[in-house]
């Protein structure tokens, strides 16, 4: 056990020495890997932010219930009490038709049009905040409310949430695809770097074998080399995404405020950062493994 740990420490030190011996190559390697990884990592950062935004906006689905135009205030009171007693509603707001008219009259452009109307074209309405969030259940509630007497129309404000959800899923797929393609590129880059390493270490490999080194002993530093190069690339990618996040934060916040949304771009979540480093190291290791299997034969 102690000897095994010692061998691993020596292999890691040796890999670090080899990386340090050619700083320019190491830097360029880390940059190539880093830029390749920065694309999916940046995509993931944007996606995580969009998801957070979408969740916040769509957190409270609403059901709008419109009364018929000939419904009396008494009818409306009847519906209001039924809605309030309903087990699956959280909040019920009554919006009288007069208020709707007043509100729209004061709005730009529409005021004159509405002024010219002979009578109030708006019905009494309710805005219902339901307890459940599942689309199927909301759909069922919509159908139920539509059956109430003197109710003309019930509208579910979740259709656009579904569209957004589908869009996010598609984007997630694209980011995953990008990650796979560029992950393969990372493996290929490491494969080639390790091939060159094996060539330059030919003498050491030969002498070590003659002095009783096992295959594992000879391979170990190359595994560490590949994993460390991947990790360095992961750090470059993480730094690039961080820089992009901080640079975009201001403009994105301004854009969001134009839409009346308060929103600050978040940096890559911790779990995603850990995944980035882990995958980068693992893919480097895999590239080294492939290269050793191909180029280091007894």
Partner 1 sequence: MIRFEQVGKRYPGGIAALAELTFAVESGEMVILSGHSGAGKSTLLKMIPAIERPTHGAVVVNGQNVSALKRAAVPFLRRNIGMVFQDQKLLHDRSVFDNVMLPLAIAGVAVRDAGRRVRAALDKVGLLEREKAMPVALSGGEQQRLAIARAVVARPSILIADEPTAHLDDDTAGGIAAMFHAFNQVGVTVLVATHHEALFAPFMTRRISLSRGRLLP
Task: Give contact residues for partner 1 (rule: CB under 8 A).
Answer: 2-4, 6-7, 10, 203-204, 206-215, 217, 298
- Least separation in angstroms between residue 190's CB and partner 1 is 23
Min. distance of Cβ 287 from partner 1 in angstroms?
24
Residue closer to partner 1 by CB (options 87, 203) is 203
CB of 217 to partner 1, least distance (A): 6
Burial class (CB in 10 A: 0-12, 13-18, 19+), 65: buried
Nearer to partner 1, 16 or 48 (CB): 16
The whole-angstrom separation of Cα 63 and Cα 85 is 16
User: How many Cα atoms within 13 Å fall on the side-chain side of residue 104?
Assistant: 17
Q: In the complex, what is the shortest distance from the CB of residue 59 to partner 1, in angstroms, rounded to a whole number?
A: 59
* Pick 139 or 206: Cβ nearer partner 1: 206
C-beta of 7 vs 86, nearer to partner 1: 7
Q: How far is the CB of 250 from partner 1 (least distance, A)?
A: 51
Nearer to partner 1, 24 or 271 (CB): 24
187-212 in b/e form (b: 16+ CB < 10 A) is bebbbebbbebbeebeeebeeeeeee
DSSP of 89-101, one letter per residue? EEEEEEE-HHHHH
CA dihedral 27, 32, 36, 41 (to 10 degrees): 10
Structure token pair of residue 104: 């729209």
């Amino acid at each position: 056990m102690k000897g095994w740990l010692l061998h691993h420490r020596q292999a890691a030190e040796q890999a670090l020495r080899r990386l340090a011996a050619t700083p320019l190559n190491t830097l360029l390697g880390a940059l190539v890997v880093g830029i390749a990884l920065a694309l999916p990592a940046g995509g993931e950062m944007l996606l995580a932010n969009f998801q957070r935004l979408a969740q916040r906006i769509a957190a409270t689905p609403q059901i709008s219930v419109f009364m018929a135009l000939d419904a009396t205030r008494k009818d409306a009171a009847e519906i209001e009490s039924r809605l309030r007693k309903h087990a699956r509603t959280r909040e019920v707001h009554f919006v009288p038709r007069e208020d709707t008219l007043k509100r729209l009259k004061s709005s730009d452009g529409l005021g004159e049009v509405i002024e010219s109307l002979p009578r109030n074209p708006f019905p009494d309405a309710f805005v219902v905040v339901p307890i459940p969030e599942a689309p199927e259940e909301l759909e069922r509630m919509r159908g139920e409310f539509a059956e109430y007497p003197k109710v003309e129309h019930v509208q579910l404000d979740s259709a656009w949430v579904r569209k957004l959800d589908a869009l996010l899923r598609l984007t997630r797929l694209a980011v995953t695809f990008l990650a796979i393609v560029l992950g393969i590129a990372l493996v290929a880059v490491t494969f080639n770097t390790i091939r060159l390493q094996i060539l330059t270490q030919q003498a050491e490999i030969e002498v070590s074998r003659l002095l009783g080194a096992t295959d594992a002993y000879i391979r170990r530093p190359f595994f560490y080399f590949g994993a460390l190069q991947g990790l360095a690339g992961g750090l470059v990618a993480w730094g690039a995404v961080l820089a992009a996040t901080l640079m975009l934060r201001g403009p994105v916040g301004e854009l969001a405020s134009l839409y009346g949304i308060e929103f600050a771009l978040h940096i890559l979540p911790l779990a995603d950062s850990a995944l980035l480093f882990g995958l980068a190291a693992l893919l480097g290791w895999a590239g080294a493994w492939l290269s050793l299997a191909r180029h280091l034969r007894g």
